[in-house]
Amino acid sequence: MEFFLARGGSCSYDDETKGDIEVPLRYKHLVKEWVPKELPLVNTEFCVNERTFRIAPSSLHGLGLFCMDGINVGYNTYTELMEYVGPCYNYSDWMRLVRYTRSMRIYGVSANYFQLKHNNENKGSTMYIDGRPKASGNIAGFINSTHPRDTNKQPNCIYEGREGNRIFVCAIKSIAAGEELLINYNLNRIDTKDVIMGEVHITFHQTCN
């Protein structure tokens, strides 16, 4: 399925793997099996955790993720939206695979970076989540990065790191209905490693009840 952008050009879910090279046989055993949830059609609404979202042309580039429900976020608080899902790799396996599967590098998120000391001794303990939308069914991968100095658009979301190498997307400011979700990838994540969080189960449906 291909979706044509209003300003010319095109993008599709298949664009995700452009530039990837087949992983050599000696490394194929490192690739983790993952059964992705089927992505919705572009420009159709679907539910995650009882909120309505839509994948549509981004105001920045390619496809983006839009929240179709208004969300009120209080001062100095945040609201959980969804989990950044996908298979998790250790540092050495990740570095071997991204040399060939370049799309993993684009959508990869370090799951425990801020739980480690920032020095080379702990570099090998870093874990990465392969958050490619098509490969992992991870709709959070459609959230684009914004740098206000370059785009004049402020981020309205942030990553939250939790125990168990889990990452969640949280709204850090109120979001209007139909507003695009944006993250500044260079901002520090909220770190709640010392807080016991309840298990969150994502529900994924085409329509909301």
What CATH number did the domain enclosing 72 receive?
2.170.270.10
pLDDT-based confidence at 4, cuts 50/70/90?
very low
Among the residue ranges 1-10, 152-161, 176-185, the one predicted with the least confidence is: 1-10
pLDDT digits over 70-83, tens only?
A: 999 887 788 999 99
Task: List, for residues 106-150, the tens digit of each pLDDT value.
Answer: 888 888 765 554 555 566 678 899 999 988 889 999 998 887 676
Give a yes or no: residue 71 inside a domain: yes
% pLDDT > 90, the chain: 36
Q: Is the pLDDT reported for residue 43 higher than 60?
A: yes
Secondary element (H or E) of residue 190: strand 190-191
* In a domain? residue 182: no
pTM over 0.85: no
| In-domain check, residue 92 | yes
Cα distance between residue 114 and residue 153, in whole Å: 25
Answer yes or no: is pLDDT of 204 > 70.
Answer: no
Q: Considering the domain boundaries, does residue 109 fall inside one?
A: yes
- State how many domains the chain has: 1
